[in-house]
A and B are shown apart, each in its own frame.
Chain A
Amino acid sequence: MQPTLSVQIGPLILENPVGVASGTFGYGSEYEALVELNALGAIYTKAVTLAPRPGNAIPRIVETPAGMLNSIGLANPGVEAFVEHKLPELKTRRAAVIANVAGASEEEYLAVLERLEEAAGPWISPPEGLPISACSARTGIDGYEINVSCPNVRHGGLAFGTDPIQVERLTAALRARTRRALIVKLTPNVADIAPIARAAEAGGADAVSLINTLVGMVIDVRRLRPVLAMGTGGLSGPAVRPVGVACAYKAARAVRIPVIGLGGIMCADDALQYLLAGARAVQVGTGTFVNPRTAEEVLCGIRAWMEREGVERVEAIAKMLA
């Protein structure tokens, strides 16, 4: 039996459940020499903001036990440069392209999404049941991931993502402006992720992705100062995986829309933990830095596991947890 690997996220069918996480993969071309981009289910782009952002003061990264802290600060060339320089190349990708959108205010999120909608043109609905990768006419953007969870910017980011009322309002406003898949990326930096996930669902999101990074700090005890210029950063890597799996488990039981799990996935078993916890798809982030072929290896491993266990569809994995 050949398992079916495709998964549906709102109007979008991904060829397989394994994507590469925003902020860890640039716009795809950076890794083209090392990664078989066509093997990926989805590429989540570096966050796009309205104006160019140079990013935070340096140093921006530091290694931690089985993890790393980053404080990049959404460094990106802005939506106009994205449209001009990145979109043409993204149209040529086989993998689904999910544009990650960030803003400091509701107006900024809306302006970015509207500009991207205008540049990519109307959503072309694929023939029934066909994964986006099998479609000939591609627009360069197959969905949006709304970043309401960046811990490294003063405005927007976490300020939105920890407040269910704001999450619902922002999601609804974005929903009204696109027919493309709308994914809201959630933060684990809350007491309970369930109300936030429900708010995204109530606002009309097609899925929630989680987790973004956990706020952390490393102090240099010789120099008597935080290592990162901004003081704190976002923790990622295998160290956060149990937190991510728990969040996916909670969110999957709080909403009917699909959950996309990420956080510390380094191998297929890690991804399977998320799928068993209730996620329908996964993203590989920091794992790509360590081994650029992590996403490919995760996909191979999921396929082999499904064959071995006699599981026909990815969605069925969520029902297997005891």
Chain B
Amino acid sequence: MEHFAARVLSNRQIAESWRELVIDWPAQAPEPGQFLTVRASPRFDPLLRRPFAFAGFSRERCEASVIYQVRGEATRLLADLAAGARLDTIGPLGRAFPPPGKGERALLAGGGIGLGPVLFLAREFARRKREGVATGEDGLSPALACFGFRTAASVPAIEWPEGVRIYTDDGSAGFAGTPSSALAEEDAGPGRARIYACGPAAMLAALAALAKSRGWNASLSAEQWMACGVGACMGCALERADGAGFLRACADGPVFERDDIDWAAEAARAAR
């Protein structure tokens, strides 16, 4: 991890309420699932750094991107950054998605604003395919990569990797339905698939349950408020599934395995 003043290269609206921020990345190459933190303002309100998952990284151009939603003051300030502005940045942070095991099909699912890390993973698969670097069961591509959105208006206008399937709740773009239902139609046997996902807590809980019922592995990216982002403050705790305390979203995650976290409890908490 490094701490530096990144230069904003672009910062544009890509969907109804989402934006893509591209910054130069002179630091260690990030991996899909990892995140960065930024200080949205040099002043003290908002105070804390904000974490964002990498949505892409170009080795050739040394550029990294994140996709974010304008939700509060910090993201409003981010949205105001023009190309050329400097952004106080720390990264890469956290645990990345692990590679698929031998003989495992990679099943990718991104939901809503959680699309970033899964998009980055799909992009990496595509890059490796182009470069002929082996990954996953067939060595070159995920068996399935789907992204779900509410309506056509929330589907980001970006360059999607080849083979990606778009789902909308109302069928106004791509297929009608959700990534979860698409993954449920997969017929891989026990131990023959690994789900990679990020999205709403309810979606992650459904996918963890699906993986469990099929005997698949699942690497799921969780979300929690953070203060330090480096494992020091214990603020971003998530409940362990085995009841033995907590894990830190920032340093033990944000990518966790199927049985690390009680995903159903997280979904219930989010719904309260």
Write out, one digit per residue, whether chain A residues 219-253 have a CB within 8 A of any chain B CB (1) or not (0). Answer: 00001010000000000011000000000000000
Contacting B234 at CB < 8 Å: which of A34, A75, A290? A75
Please state if A24 and B232 are interface contacts (CB–CB under 8 Å).
Answer: yes
Residues facing A in B205-238 (CB within 8 A) are 224-238
Residues of A within 8 A of B59 (CB): none
Give residues 42-97 of A contacting B (CB, 8 Å): 46, 52, 54-55, 58-63, 65-68, 70, 72, 75
- Which among B12-20, B39-47, B179-187 touches the partner chain? B39-47
Of listed B229, B231, B234, B244, residue having the most chain A CB within 10 A: B234
* Contact A60–B234 (Cβ < 8 Å): yes
Given the known inter-chain contacts A30-B230, A290-B39, please indicate yes or no for A62 contacting B225, CB distance below 8 A.
yes
In the complex, per-residue mask of B1-40: 1 if CB is within 8 Å of any chain A CB, else 0: 1110000000000000000000000000000000000010
The reply on B272 being an interface residue by CB < 8 A is: yes
Q: Given known contacts A290-B48, A291-B39, is B2 in contact with A33 (CB within 8 Å)?
A: yes
A238-B47 contact, Cβ under 8 Å, with A34-B3, A75-B246: yes
Query: Which A-chain residue is minimally distant from B269 (CB atoms)?
Result: A58
Interface size counted on chain B using CB atoms at 8 A: 34
Residue pair A293, B234 in contact (C-beta under 8 Å): no
Mostly helix, strand, loop or mixed at chain B's interface?
Answer: loop
CB of B36 to closest CB in A, whole Å: 13
Count residues on chain A whose CB falls below 8 Å from chain B CBs: 37
User: When the two chains form the complex, which single residue of B2, B225, B235 contacts A72, counting CB atoms closer than 8 Å?
Assistant: B235
Q: Taking CB as reference atom, which chain B residue is nearest A61?
A: B235
In the complex, the answer to whether A289 meets B48 with C-beta atoms within 8 Å is yes
Q: Which residues of B contact A237 (CB under 8 A)?
A: 44, 47
From A30, A70, A238, give the contact of B231 (CB < 8 A): A30
Please tell me if the beta carbons of B232 and A26 are within 8 angstroms of each other in the complex.
yes
A15 smallest CB distance to B (angstroms)? 22
Say yes or no: A31-B246 contact (C-beta < 8 A), given A55-B237, A290-B39.
no
CA distance A65 to B44 in the complex (A): 8
Main secondary structure of the interface of A (DSSP, over half): loop
Chain B residues with CB under 8 Å of A68's CB are: 47-48, 227
**Chain B 223-269 residues near chain A, CB threshold 8 A:** 224-239, 244-246, 251, 269
CB distance from A208 to the nearest CB of B (A): 24
CB distance from A294 to the nearest CB of B (A): 11
Residues of A that sit less than 8 Å from B by CB: 23-26, 30-31, 33-34, 46, 52, 54-55, 58-63, 65-68, 70, 72, 75, 223, 225, 237-238, 266, 286, 288-293
- What residues make up the interface of B, taking CB atoms closer than 8 Å to A? 1-3, 39, 44-49, 88, 90, 224-239, 244-246, 251, 269, 272
